[in-house]
Structure 1
Amino acid sequence: MKKNHKRTMYDYINIVISFILIFLSGKINVFIAIIIIALIAFYKKISKINNFLILFIEFFFVNTSWLFLSLKKIVGKFIDIPFILTGRDKLWQDYYTYIFETPFKVIFGFNFMQKEVSYIDHPHNQYLMIFYILGIFGIVLYFLLFYKVLKNTNKDSKLLFNLNMGILILMTGDDYFVLTIMPLYYLIIMCGLYFNKKEVKQNERKLL
């Protein structure tokens, strides 16, 4: 029979300390990621999340930079966007302007030859960074990769699904997850990409 993990005092201390550190960091996108993952987890309990919903969620977050810029005038009437995005809207606008000034580069990207595009040399949005470096082909490739990761882990690995969903959300406000030298994020993504449902079922049978 499969044994359920019983949380110890150390588990609760770890959870409390983690939330304190998140709160002290003041990273808005981290709070947003936690809230969205909690909502998705709740939704999965009352209904089976399908592939179409995964596609919609991924499409939304991959396109957050231009969606925010497109809705800036409308949403800006109700909330202070520059304050919430801490200047990211200016970065995103500068990068899109720079990219679309040379249509050929939109397809193939600018590679890793970094130039002075804005007041900071990276756009604080991983998807925009991928688009800038690798063009349309690059962003489509990463879109398909993440779809495969989320689809693989959706039903059979709650931990990997939530971790990769967290990365998907956090990539909207920072750009050090892929195309960099941060191996932990690659490890989480690759675990989801090559997740084997058969191995999980075999391990569960061994526990019975």
Structure 2
Amino acid sequence: MNNLIISIYIFISFILMYNLENKSIILYLLLIFQLMMFGFNLYVLLKRKNIKISKDIFLILLITIFSLIFNMDTLGNYIINIVLIFNIYILTKYRWNYVYKRIFLYANIFNIINMFLYKYSTRIYGAPKVILGYTLPKILVPQIWVASLSLIAVYSLFSINLIKNKLLKIFIVLLSLSLIIVAGKFTTILALLIAGIIYLLNLKFFLLSSKKMLKYTLKAMLTICFCSPFIFYYFTIVYNEFLNTKVVDVSSLFSGRHLLWIDYINYIYDNKFQILVGNGFFSDEKKISYLLHPHNQYLTIFYTLGILGFIIYYLFYLKVIDESIKIKKQYPNLFMILIIIIFEMCGDDYFILTINPLNLIIIFLIHNSKYNINSEQILKNRKKYIKEN
């Protein structure tokens, strides 16, 4: 795959995170690139007779196709998702290093753009969130959603692994943290704090210093996050049943998401057959709650692909955790971002079943990191051989 095409593809993916007037044009442009890349990748692999897809990715594609058979009304969304997963898998397998560097380069560029947006654009002051007596402000700009802005800032923050200049590192850290705090997205701030605590506890002489303990901790964390909407759902039932009162103070903490989770889980349980095959992608024709999506990626997976898809993605993320621990020393930024994404997915659902590839690229970079490490080792061996001879 040509470097220019990859660069444009990633650049457009960042552009898509903004609230532009003609956003549909950007969306169709990204879709065209997706289809072009899919055709090219498939042609090259067939020509080489080298179509090798890992078992995890094969199962994800298989369950998506299985769910598609029973939800033909959202055929287009399924095709886009299948093409997206295939493209990202191939890109991060054969062009790992280039994709890795390009993601963080563009994150820095767009993070600086966001700084200027805050300085010169109209500011919107959202409702502040009160957490344990502290008021968390929320300052927005109309050109970008707070979730997208926070995520770009997170990627930019962890790009410092690739930066050698100390002054530039300090600037990037201060800028990213400032934007994250000003944006006031509680999920991102909490996820960042938890990722930092886990990383510190993993240092020598600390609680999670052993790989085994770290692995168990992260997998337990993943399990809780995957089940988060259902845990809350049943907690609400038990709480109301035995205490005969409504759960208090959750509306502020979850920003109304708890109502979405209850509505969507009730809908899933009311359609028993769909639990197995999924309900398909969201559409305007099927209004389940006051929003068209439940603001929880794990619940979205269950709703869209059914329980089989839910299990397959859970097993996939377990393996991604294993890979992240293996590369933690070499790529601590990917390790940290994975933890943040796992927590962010509890409060948002634009990570997996979407047309925008950015967040999925990070997951696949970790999943396919072994290919880059093998390539680097081969390169080192070649250089050593040339030097010795």
Q: TM-score, normalised by structure 1?
A: 0.87
Counterpart pick for 1:40 among 195, 198, 218: 198
- Aligned letter for 1:165? I
Could you tell me which residue of structure 1 aligns to residue 308 of structure 2? 137
Report the more deviating stretch, 48-57 or 169-178: 48-57
Indicate yes or no: 2:176 matched with 1:18: yes
Rg comparison, structure with higher value: 2
Contact 1:37 1:166 (C-alpha < 8 Å) held by counterparts: yes
The residue number in structure 1 matching 2:118 is none
Higher mean alpha-carbon deviation, 77-86 vs 182-191, is at 77-86
SS of structure 2 residue aligned to 1:71:
helix
1:95 matched residue in structure 2? 264
Residue equivalent to 2:293: 122
Q: How far apart in 2 are the matches of 1:10 and 1:77?
A: 50
- Native 8 Å contact 2:260 2:291 kept in 1: yes
- Structure 1 window deviating more from structure 2 (150-159 vs 91-100): it is 150-159
The residue number in structure 1 matching 2:225 is 61
Which residue of structure 2 aligns with residue 199 of structure 1? 374
Which string of whole-angstrom CA distances, capped at 9 and with x for unpartnered residues, describes residues 78-113 of structure 1?
961111100000000000000100111111110125
Structure 1 contact 54–151 (Cα < 8 Å) conserved: no
1:163 and 2:340 aligned? no
Partner of 2:155: none
CA-CA distance at 1:156 after TM superposition: 2.0
After superposition, the Cα gap between the structure-2 partners of 1:205 and 1:173, relative to the gap in structure 1 and judged at 3 Å, is same
Aligned counterpart for 1:86 among listed residues 248, 255, 276: 255
1:43–1:49 Cα contact (<8 Å) kept: no
Shift of 1:77: 8.7
| Residues in 1 aligned to 2:260 and 2:254: alpha-carbon distance in whole angstroms | 10
Q: Cα gap change, 1:200/1:53 in structure 2, threshold over 3 Å: closer, same or farther?
A: farther
Q: Is the contact made by 1:152 and 1:193 (CA closer than 8 Å) also made in structure 2?
A: yes
Give me the identity figure in percent. 31
Kept in 1, the 8 Å contact 2:282–2:293? The answer is no
Are 1:110 and 2:296 matched, yes or no? no
86-95 or 15-24, which deviates more: 15-24
Task: Quote the offset at 1:49 in angstroms.
Answer: 3.6
2:234 aligned residue: 70
Deviation at 1:31, TM superposition (A): 0.9
Give 3-state SS (helix, strand or coil) of 1:23's partner.
Answer: helix
Give the SS at the match of 1:175: coil
Matching residue within 27, 50, 57 for 2:185: 27
Cα pair distance change 1:39/1:49, threshold 3 Å: farther
Distance of 2:378 and 2:324 partners within structure 1: 16
Q: What is the one-letter code of the residue matched to 2:256?
A: G
User: How many angstroms does 1:153 deviate by?
Assistant: 1.6
The structure whose RCO (Cα within 8 Å, separation 6+) is larger is: 1
Structure 2 gaps of 5+ residues are 1-162, 382-389
Give the letter aligned to residue 155 of structure 1.
K
Question: What TM-score, normalized by structure 2, do the two folds share?
Answer: 0.48
For structure 1, which runs of at least 5 residues remain unmatched after alignment? none
Provide closer, same or farther for how the CA distance between residues 15 and 78 of structure 1 changes in structure 2, counting only shifts above 3 A.
Answer: farther
AA matched with 1:171: M
